Structure 1
Amino acid sequence: MPPFVAESSRRTGFTHVLLMTTGSVASIKAPLIVQELLSYRNVAVQVVATKPSLTFFNPEDIRTSGVNVWTDEDEWLPDYKIGDPILHIELRRWADVVLIAPASANTLAKIANGICDNLSTSLLRALAPTTPTYVYPAMNTLMYEHPLTAQHIHIIRDVIGYTVVGPVSKGLACGDVGVGAMVEWRDIVASVAEMYALVKH
């Protein structure tokens, strides 16, 4: 595959949605989110997946719809040379809106502390402050209630300026019942559709 370059990959008149998946069970919803986004006219999607998130979905289920699923292995290729496109920079240039759905406790901690040790967090660190970015936390209730989580969300929302949505209370994958579940995936897509006045095919 040739290197990804934002300038040649953006499509005039399209809304460019970058979906980021992280190591939460809610990543299982990624193929559904992509499928629903593509049901709207003039929407292009790229997915950036952390390695842990791939425990919960098969990237081929997304790639069959013509959407790229990028991982850490795609970032720095063995034959990279100075002047070649840098994936996390090109993806942030491409995106009109970023959805971190789900956002695990680990990724929240990395974002809040400025850590950029993978493709996802490097992209976020390089992201323009003007790019709308929505964070959908998903984790076990006690992880969410940990005092550090509140601190991380405060930094992400009030210092970095991302919009944090959820989590909600429901039965969790671990069997616990409580706050920590990602908001309904359909609502995530609906919020993008409303924001950009998207119309179904």
Structure 2
Amino acid sequence: MEPRATCSAAAPLVERQFRVLVGVTGSVAALKLPLLVSRLLDIPGLEVAVVTTERAKHFYSPQDVPVTLYSDADEWETCVIRAWDRSKPLLFCPAMNTAMWEHPITEQQVGQLKAFGYVEIPCVAKKLVCGDQGLGAMAEVGTIVDKVKEVLSQHGAFQQN
């Protein structure tokens, strides 16, 4: 999230623009993208952009996402994260089947992201589309939106009502 000055530094907080970049990959959790983007757009002063893999588009209709979608080859994710200004918050929401979630590599990768200072919005346990019962489902949209509001509030950008 990056502040964008619209007037002077003393402008009211609601006039300040903050940008959120949502990245979505080819997981069934991509089904939640249209709702997530709509809920984020309800936050005053927030601008939302989406970068999506082509595989992710199999899980939602691009016409149902109320912002422009930017697409690239599957390596976009590592490029964006490697180029990320680490002074700005980065939140990530893992989503995968239970076997993948329980694999030791996943623990290492999540640990590495957290070591960089990135914030995990943990996955939840439920019956997954693949039939597994357990951890791996992406956090609920409301949980993600609440965490975004919390981070914005910590950066003095959002006053929760």
The two structures, once aligned, show a CA RMSD in angstroms of 1.8
**Cα pair 2:17 2:47 within 8 Å, conserved:** yes
Q: Does the alignment pair 1:48 with 2:51?
A: yes
Question: Who is 1:100 aligned against?
Answer: none
Percent identity (aligned): 40
1:137 partner SS: coil
Taking structure 2 as the reference length, what is the TM-score of the superposition? 0.82
Structure 1: gaps (5+ residues): 1-9, 74-116
Question: Who is 2:12 aligned against?
Answer: none
Cα distance between partner residues in 1 of 2:129 and 2:82: 30
Q: Deviations over 1:14-55 (max 9, x none)?
A: 121111111210111011011011112111100000122111
Cα distance between partner residues in 2 of 1:161 and 1:41: 26
Structure 2: gaps (5+ residues): 7-15
1:138 partner SS: coil
1:11 offset after TM fit, Å? 6.4
Cα distance between partner residues in 1 of 2:159 and 2:39: 12
For 1:16-55, what aligned pairs fall within 5 Å after superposition?
A: 16-55=19-58
Taking structure 1 as the reference length, what is the TM-score of the superposition? 0.66
**Cα pair 1:41 1:199 within 8 Å, conserved:** no
Question: Who is 1:6 aligned against?
Answer: none
Q: Give the one of 148, 152, 164 matched to 2:105.
A: 148
Q: Deviations over 1:148-200 (max 9, x none)?
A: 11111111211x22112211111111111101111111110111123224469
For 1:50-89, what aligned pairs fall within 5 Å after superposition?
A: 50-62=53-65, 65=66, 67-72=67-72
Cα distance between partner residues in 2 of 1:72 and 1:195: 28
Cα distance between partner residues in 2 of 1:149 and 1:27: 19
Cα distance between partner residues in 2 of 1:46 and 1:168: 25
Cα distance between partner residues in 2 of 1:143 and 1:35: 29
**Cα pair 1:40 1:199 within 8 Å, conserved:** no
Cα distance between partner residues in 2 of 1:40 and 1:71: 24
Q: Number of aligned pairs?
A: 144
1:69 offset after TM fit, Å? 0.6
Q: Deviations over 1:55-113 (max 9, x none)?
A: 11122211xx3x2110017xxxxxxxxxxxxxxxxxxxxxxxxxxxxxxxxxxxxxxxx
Amino acid at match of 2:101: Y
Distance 1:144-1:15 versus aligned 2 partners, 3 A rule = same
2:93 partner SS: strand
